Each structure stands twice: as C-alpha cells, then as structure tokens.
Chains A and B, each alone.
Chain A
C-alpha cells in the first residue's frame, strides 16, 4: 500500500506467508504423525487414544510455527527453523513408523 516499498521486502513477506501457511501446516502434520507414534511406543497409549491426543494438539503446533515465522529476524531464519524441525520430526516419523 505504502509507496516506495522495495521489492525485496515484498518478496520476503510473501516468502514468510508461504512459510507460515504451508510450512506451518507441514510442521504441524509431521508433529502429529510423529507424536501419535511416540505415544503408542513410549507412553503405551491405546492406538486410537494416541492419535486423538496428538491430533488435538496439532493446531497448537501450527499456531506456534506461524508465530515463529514472523518473529524470526529474517525470512531465511524462519525457513531454516521450519526445515530443521520438520526434518527432525520426519526422521522421528520414519524411525518410529518403519519399525
């Protein structure tokens, strides 16, 4: 809206919006799958209960991820935070789910 906003700023904001919407959903989805498996494995919960617990918590991760994306100092940092946590969660999912 304001005149004279540099294109680099616009791109950075667009990049963060994508990170928050798609990246945030991705992290929440991975966290839900990973936590479901972890609760079954380590907490000894019944399968349906574990899935329900993890899924009930999923939107909190999404919100936290979106807030992280905009609290981070730069779009790069925002993305790297998502990618690192996503990779750890994906690894956890693969390890727990593959066994």
Chain B
C-alpha cells in the first residue's frame, strides 16, 4: 500500500484516505447496507413471515373500524399501559400493529423503556390476534438491526453505526476526488484480471449508484440528527430539547401520568375530525399517552401518502374528553421540511412499487460496493506481499484477519438471512419466545459461518459458504411451498403479488450466490495464464 507522504498531491492522499477509512468501517457497513436494503421491503417481509395473515389480505377495513377494534383490544389487554402505539392497515400492510409500554415493575429497575415494549399483530377483521398464528418480529428485526444493531443497548448501536456512516461519507468523497476518469471508468470492465477486475467491479457499482450512495449516507445521518449533533440545541436553547421540540411543533409533548383516572373518549369522532381537517387524507398512526388517565393525550398522525416528507401533520386531542388541543405540522418551516424530505428519501415510504424496486437495487449496489472494496483491499495487499508470503509461507496477520472477516461478512450474512427465514417456517408455532428463537437462528448461523471463515479463510471456504447461502435462499420458496398454501404455484397465478415477489427475489439472490460459488470453482480449475503472478489470481489462495 502506498504511504501518506508530504507533497504527494491531493489525489494520492485521498486514495490513501479512501482505502483506510473504507477498510475501517466496511464490515459494519455491509451489514447496514444488507439490512437496510431489506428494510425497503420490511412490510412485505413481515407479511411473508406471517402466513396466517395471508387469508385476510383481500379484506378491506376502514381506518375508523380498524382503530376502534384496536382500541377495544387495548382496553381489554393493556388499560394501564404508559403509552399505546397503533399502526393502521394500509396498502402495503393489511394488519393492525400494536405496541404498548407496560407499567414498570420492580424487576424493570435500571432497564430501558424499550424492554417494556409489548407488541401484537391484529387481524383487522376480528380486531384480535389470529388464533394459532406464529409470533415473529418479521421485517421489523431487520429494520432495527439496520440502525440499532443487536445484543447491545440501542444507543451504542446507533453511535457505532453513526461513526461508520460518517466515515463512509468520507470514503465516498475521497473516492470521488481520487477518481481520475469517473465517467470513462464506468464503461470499463476487465474480466478475469484479478485485482483489475475487482477495481472495475468496485468502480462500476459505486459510480452506477453514486447519487444514491451519497444521498443514503447523508440522509442516514439526518435520521438521527440530534442524537449525533445536539450542539445547535445546546447553543440556542442551552440544551433544553423540550423547548426546541415545542417550537418545532411537529409532535405532541409527552405528559406525566396524573393521579386521577378517566376513561378514554371514543376514537371515531376524533378520527372524523382529523380526516376532515386533512381534506380526506387517511390517518396512519395513533399514539395514546397515559391512556385512561385524566390527562391522557391522543395524537393522530396523517398517512404520508405519496409525500416524500415523512413529518406528516398530527392532530392532538385530550384523551378523556376528545377535545381538539392542537393541530401540528400543517405549516412547517423550510428547514423542517428539508429534514422531513431527507428522512423521507432515506426510508422511501413514499415510493410506489417500481421505484421501491429501484431503491432495493441501489441498496444491493451499495452492499456490492462495500464488498468489492473490501475484497479489492485484500487482493491488492496479498499481491504487494507476494514475495514475503512466497518466501516465508506465512500470511501476515492483518491480511489474514481482513480476508477472514471479508469471508465471514460477505458470504456469511446471506446465510444468516436464509437461516432467519428458514427458522420462521420450521420452528414449532407454539414455541415460547419464538421471535427470539428466530433471531438466534440468524446470529447463530452467522456466527458459525464467521468462525469457519476465521478457521480457514480459503477459496474453498468461500465456495462452501457461498454455496450454503445459495442453498438456503433457493430453498426458501421450496420450503414455503411445503409449509404454506400461499406458495409460488398459487401466488404466481392468483396473487397476492407481494408474496410471489418475496419468493422470486429470494430465489434470484440465491441463484446469484450459487453462480458466484460456481464461477469461483471454475476459475480455480482454469490454468494460470503465462506470466501472471500467482498472487494475482485471487484472495485466499496461498493460505490453502
């Protein structure tokens, strides 16, 4: 690798910065890109993972009906909760999703409020969970993994990911600066040339979706803006975040529970009033703070519809009387709209199916950009150490570590995704803590792959792990056919299209992994071209 030198020029120093900042954060970024790409189809994944819900896909329930059924359910099951969250059915999600924060008991001391979150998925037709339906976190787990990671407090995960995202921004900018012929290189692809091919592949996926990569990186930081950068609030409000939020006026302030209890007023009149105020746009989300207390607050947030801005208007009502308290976010300031639009571009809730597919493809290009960059580093380093490796027969520690981490992350993560979907279909339906067991399957499979990678980071292991991922993913539609009645044989003919789309996407990804495994084998069997250095062929070879 070249070194950072005095007077070497911007392009060289940026090449250095691109290499090292990229390498530092690449494995976390690969996970973030993969789980983030999956999050574009979070609702579709959740639906696929709840086959018991498929029957109610074609039922249409009005938001008011759904809301009053959910209200009734919550009054039965969680009348003393601290907060209720209701997501009403929409075009992409047929079910009612409920969360509530149960009251703290002595066992909860010292735990974050998130530990007291209870979730339920209701059939909108009956207003109750479907009897015998499997419990799963579905796409929600992948979405949370994207910015909270797992097995650690969420705020740590957010800081780790924020750091990695910041250095991805640095890697992107320095990568563009160092790139002499950004347009011409996009049309350059030299196959089967070892390091050259990895470079060309990295350039192609990076440049192809460059506007997306820049956008997704910056807007990703914007989603958690004030966690990372509270200093503007510190300067102007002396750190009083409540005052800032009150002036921003996009969501209702939280209230402390009052001593007096009072039953909640019915939700339908509030919904009618809100929908009239929004000129017929439907509600999407309802939050009830301190339900059944005298000072309960009901916030109804409008469906964002095809608006890019995610900060949709909210109507706030007194929970006990149903009287309107405030109408928030009808006229937002330009900076706030900019923020909402940036977040909207990141999460792409506005995108209709074809555009959503384009976001999905761009996310995959991002994952490939990270993967090819990481592989390029390993191939290049192996080549520059070729003589030492040939003399001593040993791979330097850092190179071996990077090669093993590349293998464990890039080939291992598809195995984790596959295991998650398999666990969803194969675990007993009535298993206790079933959602956790699915997540353990995800991390267990990944840990196994990563350990195998550390044990033997060789080309043969690349083939084994890629093939394992391929088998798991290609097997998903097959498994679905064996375990449910909404498989490709049915969904391709009669729909629902989303379920066919899930099976076909996973199948295509599995075939792509299989093709990679096959090509790796074919390439290894081919005779070495005369004059080509041995180390040029690919990573991992010499340690076999």
Contact = CB atoms under 8 A, between A and B. Distances in A.
Given A1-B399, A59-B218, A71-B10, A33 B235 contact: yes
B335 A52 contact: yes
A70 B14 contact: yes
Given A1-B381, A55-B226, A74-B6, A48 B235 contact: no
Contacts of B173: 63, 67
Contacts of B335: 45, 49-50, 52-53, 56
B232 A54 contact: yes
Contacts of A34: 235
Interface string A38-74: 0010000111111111111011101100110011011
Contacts of B6: 73-74
Contacts of A3: 388
Interface string A68-99: 00110110000000000000000001001100
Nearest to A47: B236
Main secondary structure, interface of A, reads helix
A71 to B, nearest CB: 5
Given A1-B381, A55-B225, A66-B170, A48 B231 contact: no
B235 A70 contact: no
Nearest to B9: A71
Interface stretch (B336-344, B461-469, B474-482): B336-344
B7 A48 contact: no
Contacts of A37: 235-236
B236 A40 contact: yes
B292 interface: no
B234 interface: yes
A97 B385 CA distance: 55
Chain B interface size band reads: 35 or more
Contacts of B338: 52-53, 56
Interface string B1-45: 101101100100110110001000000000000000000000000
A46 B331 CA distance: 14
B221 interface: yes
B218 A73 contact: no
A86 B399 CA distance: 38
A51 B16 CA distance: 35
Given A33-B232, A34-B235, A70 B244 contact: no
B218 A36 contact: no
A47 B235 CA distance: 11
Nearest to A40: B236
Contact of A46 (B218, B232, B333): B333
6 contacts: A2-B384, A32-B235, A40-B236, A49-B333, A52-B335, A67-B173
Interface of B: 1, 3-4, 6-7, 10, 13-14, 16-17, 21, 163, 166-167, 169-170, 173-174, 177, 218, 221-222, 225-226, 228-229, 231-237, 244, 247-249, 333-336, 338-339, 342, 381, 384-385, 388, 396, 398-399
